[in-house]
Amino acid sequence: VQLVESGGGVVQPGGSLRLSCAASGFTFDDYPMHWVRQAPGKGLEWVSLISGDGGTTYNADSVKGRFTISRDNSKNTLYLQMNSLRTEDTALYYCAQDQSGSYLSWGQGTLVTVSS
Amino acid sequence: DVVMTQSPLSLPVTLGQPASISCKSSQSLVHSDGKTYLNWFQQRPGQSPRRLIYKVSNRDSGVPDRFSGSASGTDFTLKISRVEAEDLGVYYCMQGTHWPYTFGQGTKLEIK
């Protein structure tokens, strides 16, 4: 199993970024997928979830209305569209493979820095 | 949301000695299917989290048997029988019974 995130970078407050997570080594559409973030020196915070077929999504209250999770099962890729970014969104963003109440595998993360 | 409270937040240990981390949930983690979805993750410095334990006491493949998990009601414990240098890092409990999944604050295991 391999999960490789990309798309992070430095953006001004109010700006947008789209993160990607390329998956391999497993049947991608069999698994719900998550985005989990970690602010510098802090703990882990769940951000978004999408079902295997992409038909169901959930977002944390902290990002509701600003972030959109999606997936392209034909490309084995997970996305996170982040709009109206705030300084408190600065974090390392991980994609993670769901397995029945757990995170089975994690990517290496992509860093998002929101700063003026 | 279910609140997961870990203690201690910092755990100085001597190599070769045992270590124990506690995690308490704000409500029962027994799912309607009868299973308890309590996980433990290890995060070494500069690395992504790695799952060690799932459903309270099941070790993942490749996890040394010096790691064990147990439960008593809403209290969960991760034990390391003899700490090795490679065990240093931050440990998180995480519940997957109730939506949304929630993590404990993390316990930093460091050398005394």
- pLDDT tens, N- to C-terminus, chain A (116 residues): 999 999 999 999 999 999 999 999 999 999 999 999 999 999 999 999 999 999 999 999 999 999 999 999 999 999 999 999 999 999 999 999 999 889 989 999 999 999 99
- Mutate one of B48, B52, B102 to test the A interface: name it (highest A CB count within 10 A): B48
Residues of chain B with C-beta less than 8 angstroms from the C-beta of A108: 48
Give the mean model confidence (pLDDT) for residues B12-23. Answer: 97
* Cβ B42 vs Cβ B89: under 8 Å: yes
pLDDT at B50: 96
pLDDT at A8: 97
How are beta strands B89-95 and A33-38 bridged, if at all? Answer: unpaired
What are B58's strand-pairing partners?
A: B54
* Cβ B32 vs Cβ B102: under 8 Å: no
For CA atoms A60, A62, A65, A68, the dihedral sign is negative
pLDDT at A76: 98
A26 touches chain B (CB under 8 A): no
| Torsions phi, psi for B87 (to 5 deg) | -85, -10
Nearest to A43 among B39, B100, B105 (CB): B105
Q: Kindly report the nearest CA distance between residue B36 and chain A, in angstroms.
A: 9
Cross-chain Cβ contact B96/A100 below 8 Å? yes
Residue B112 has pLDDT above 90, yes or no: no
